[in-house]
């Protein structure tokens, strides 16, 4: 038992230093390729624009990946005529 308490500070230090790496490794960093304009968009920031497009074009909400290719192209056309991030 004494050995456990002797190594506890070292274990606590390792756990403290490793925690940010483990948490950051679990974060989702989704990037979407725009095949029409040949560039990438971070989808985390893209959601705002996608929701705006759905609202402005009077579409019901559908996951982008489930939209037909012609509607995906309409979105990317719309997106490239609006503010870039």
In terms of Cβ atoms closer than 10 Å to its own Cβ (0-12, 13-18, 19+), residue 75 is buried
The residue among 31, 34, 29 whose CA lies nearest residue 72 is: 34
Cα separations (Å) of 58 from 9, 46, 66, 70, 80?
A: 59, 18, 17, 16, 19
Q: Over the Cα atoms of the chain, what is R_g?
A: 22
| Partner residues linked to 41 by β-bridges | 32
The answer to whether residue 11 is domain-embedded is no
pLDDT tens-digit profile, the chain (85 residues): 556 556 656 655 445 555 554 444 445 568 888 888 888 888 887 889 999 999 999 999 999 999 999 999 999 999 988 865 4
Asked whether residue 75 is assigned to any structural domain, the reply reads yes
Confirm whether 47 is domain-assigned.
Answer: yes
Report field, pTM of the whole predicted structure over 0.75: no
In-domain check, residue 68: yes
């Amino acid at each position: 038992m004494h050995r456990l308490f002797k190594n506890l500070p070292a274990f606590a230090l390792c756990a403290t230093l490793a925690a940010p790496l483990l948490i950051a490794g679990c974060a989702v960093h989704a990037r979407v390729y725009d095949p029409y304009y040949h560039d990438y968009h971070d989808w985390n920031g893209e959601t705002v624009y996608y929701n705006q497009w759905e609202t402005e074009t009077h579409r019901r909400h559908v996951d982008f990946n489930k939209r037909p290719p012609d509607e995906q192209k309409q979105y990317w056309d719309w997106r490239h005529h609006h503010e870039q991030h």
